[in-house]
A = this chain, B = another copy of it.
Amino acid sequence: MSGFNKIINSYEDAMDGLVDGMTIISGGFGLCGIPENLIKEIKRKGTKDLTVASNNCGTDKHGLGLLLSDHQVKKVIASYVGENALFEKQMMSGEIEVDLTPQGTLAEKMRAGGAGIPAFYTPAGYGTPVGDGKEVREFNGRKYILEEALQGDFSIAKAWKADSHGNLIFRRTARNFNPMAITAGKISVVEVEEIVEVGDLDPDQIHLPGIYVDRLIKGTFEKNIEQRTVRNT
C-alpha cells in the first residue's frame, strides 16, 4: 500500500518544493477552514513573490494575512478585501497586485482548473470592471463573459477527517473552497484534524477522493473566529 500512503510527518516536508515566485491555491473562507499550519510553514520558510488565490486573505493577524505582513506575496486573486486593513493598504499602495474575482467565478475557476475545463462562460461580472478585456458572448439572448481556469504549483487546504489514502471529509462550512482548491494544484497538500483507518470512511460519504491529495498531514488548529455572534434566548 506504500504507493497510496499520502501521510507526511512534518510541516517542513509538507511544503517541500515551494520556491519563490510560485502560485498557491488556498482553501478557506475568512478564517474558517483555512490551512493554518501550512500557512505558518510558508511564513517560516520565507518564500517570496508568491501569487496566492484564495477567497479572502485572512485577517491582519491570522491566515494568509501572515504572509502579507512579511511581504511574501506579489499577487492575490480574491473576491473580498474587507475587514483586512493590511490587505487593503498593500493593494491601495500598489505593493501587491490584486485580481478581484467574483466569489462564484473564483470557485468555478478552481474547479475548472482541476477538471480539465480550460475556460467557461459566466454571467457574473458582465458589464463591470471584472469583464474588462474579457470576451463577451451571447447565449439565448443573455450576455456572458469568458473566464479561464486557475491552476497552481501548490494547493493548500484543510479538511476534517482523512484516511491515509487522502480520502477526505470536510466539516460544516469549513468545506468552502477547500475541495476545489485541492484539485487545482500540481502538488496538493492537505492538513486534517484526524486520520482514520483505510476502510473506515463510507465510500458514499467521501467529499473528495484521495486521487487529488498528494500530501496529507495531521495538525492541531486554533480555529479563530472573526465575528463571534451569539443570541441570549
Q: Which A positions have Cβ atoms within 8 angstroms of B?
A: 108, 112, 115-123, 137, 139-140, 142, 144, 148, 169-172, 175, 203-205, 207
Residue contact B170 to A142, C-beta cutoff 8 Å: no
Q: Which residue of B lies closest to A115 (CB)?
A: B108
User: Closest Cβ of chain B: how far from A27's Cβ, in Å?
Assistant: 16
- Contact between A139 and B148, CB atoms less than 8 A apart: yes
Residues of B within 8 A of A171 (CB): 204
Q: Which residues of B contact A118 (CB under 8 A)?
A: 121, 139-140, 142, 144
| CB nearest neighbor in B for A148 | B139
Contact A121–B120 (Cβ < 8 Å): yes
Q: Contact between A204 and B119 (Cβ–Cβ < 8 Å)? A: no
Closest 10 pairs (CB-CB, A-B): A118-B139, A120-B120, A119-B121, A118-B121, A117-B120, A205-B205, A118-B144, A119-B139, A117-B122, A171-B204
Q: How far is the CA of A118 from the CA of B139 in the complex (A)?
A: 7
Q: Can you list 16 A-B pairs with a CB-CB distance of less than 8 A?
A: A108-B115, A112-B120, A116-B122, A117-B122, A118-B121, A118-B139, A118-B140, A118-B144, A119-B120, A119-B121, A119-B137, A120-B121, A139-B148, A170-B204, A175-B204, A204-B207
Residues of B within 8 A of A140 (CB): 118
A116→B122 CA distance, assembly (Å): 7
**Further pairs besides A119-B121, A139-B148, A204-B207: 16, Cβ < 8 Å:** A108-B115, A116-B122, A116-B123, A117-B120, A117-B122, A118-B121, A118-B139, A118-B142, A119-B120, A119-B139, A120-B120, A170-B204, A171-B204, A172-B204, A175-B204, A205-B205
Tell me the minimal C-beta distance from A62 to chain B in angstroms: 24
Distance A163 CA – B118 CA, assembled complex (angstroms): 37
Chain B contacts of A112 at CB under 8 A?
120
- Complex CA–CA separation, A117 to B112 (angstroms): 12
User: Contact partner of A172 among B115, B148, B170, B203, CB < 8 A?
Assistant: B203
Q: Which chain B residues border A122 with CB–CB below 8 Å?
A: 116-117
**Residues of chain B contacted by A123 (CB below 8 angstroms):** 116
Most central of A112, A116, A120, A171 by chain B CB within 10 Å: A120
Q: List B contacts of A175 (CB < 8 A).
A: 204
